[in-house]
């Protein structure tokens, strides 16, 4: 997708299709060559920058800064595309850029409000796992508590509740609920209501 929605030059579209085919075949070098051609022909071609970043990730020798620049460029050119911003956030997280990743996840949650809970929960899970794996079970207690607290905060945001309410729920005895039975009952009631409206 081009940022200004102009039609793609034929040579850019052709190169992009070849790049996609090469990427599907596991030929990251061939994909890079064709994505470069597509970008040269259409410098505002967001998908080509994203594709080049995806191809570069497969190359252990690819420079972090170059991959990051392409992910960022694709997000800038097509800010309405949640996949571009989400992949940028994930790439930052995977490479230990936690503060920037947090910022991008929050930006994605605002831009794609319908799926905000997914971005919040993904950040919470990735942040917790990545750092806890790095510090290990014997790591600094203050770091572990900080990471756990931040992750819990984001899980609460994902569920639309505040920390006080979550603490209240967790401190109270769990209610006895037959979940399957309750869901079946609610489904039957919903069907009955729909039938009554006809």
pLDDT tens digits in sequence order for the chain, 198 residues long: 444 457 889 999 999 999 999 999 999 999 999 999 999 999 999 999 999 999 999 999 999 999 999 999 999 999 889 899 999 999 999 999 999 999 999 999 998 999 999 999 999 999 999 999 999 888 899 999 999 999 999 999 999 999 999 999 999 988 888 889 888 988 888 777 766 555
pLDDT value of position 80: 86
pLDDT value of position 116: 94
3-state secondary structure of 174: coil
Q: Do domains 1-78 and 79-174 have the same CATH topology?
A: yes
Query: How many angstroms separate the Cα of 50 from the Cα of each of 87, 96, 130?
Result: 9, 20, 24
pLDDT value of position 177: 83
Residue ranges per structural domain of the chain:
1-78, 79-174
3-state secondary structure of 2: strand
Distance CA 136, CA 144 (A): 9
Decide: pTM greater than 0.85: no
pLDDT value of position 4: 46
pLDDT value of position 124: 96
Query: How many angstroms separate the Cα of 171 from the Cα of each of 30, 56, 151, 164?
Result: 57, 48, 19, 11
pLDDT value of position 197: 56
The CATH code belonging to domain 79-174 is 1.25.40
pLDDT value of position 2: 45
Q: To 10 degrees, the CA torsion angle through 149, 150, 154, 159?
A: 10
CATH of the structural domain 1-78, one choice from 1.25.40.10, 3.50.50.60, 3.40.50.970, 2.60.40.10:
1.25.40.10
Report the 10 Å Cβ neighbour count for 64. Answer: 11
Contacts of 100 (CB under 8 A, 6+ apart): 92
pLDDT value of position 186: 87
No. of H helices and E strands in the chain?
A: 10, 0
Distance CA 188, CA 176 (A): 21
pLDDT value of position 168: 92
- Taking a C-beta distance cutoff of 8 angstroms, is the pair 141, 149 a contact? no
Contacts of 193 (CB under 8 A, 6+ apart): none
Distance CA 144, CA 132 (A): 7
């Amino acid at each position: 997708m081009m940022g200004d929605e102009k039609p793609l030059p034929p040579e850019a579209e052709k190169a992009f299709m070849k790049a996609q085919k090469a990427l599907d075949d596991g030929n990251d070098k061939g994909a890079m060559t064709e994505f470069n051609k597509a970008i040269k022909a259409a410098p505002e071609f967001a998908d080509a920058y994203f594709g080049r970043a995806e191809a570069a990730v497969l190359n252990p020798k690819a420079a972090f800064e170059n991959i990051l620049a392409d992910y960022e460029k694709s997000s800038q050119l097509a800010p309405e595309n949640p996949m571009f911003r989400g992949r940028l956030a994930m790439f930052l997280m995977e490479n230990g850029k936690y503060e920037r990743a947090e910022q991008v996840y929050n930006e994605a949650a605002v831009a794609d409000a319908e799926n905000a809970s997914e971005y919040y929960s993904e950040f919470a899970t990735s942040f917790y796992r990545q750092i806890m794996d790095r510090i290990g079970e014997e790591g600094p207690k203050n770091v572990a508590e900080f990471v756990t607290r931040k992750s819990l905060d984001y899980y609460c945001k994902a569920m639309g509740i505040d920390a006080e309410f979550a603490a209240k729920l967790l401190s109270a005895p769990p209610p006895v609920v037959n979940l399957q039975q309750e869901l079946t009952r609610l489904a039957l009631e919903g069907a009955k209501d729909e039938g009554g409206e006809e």
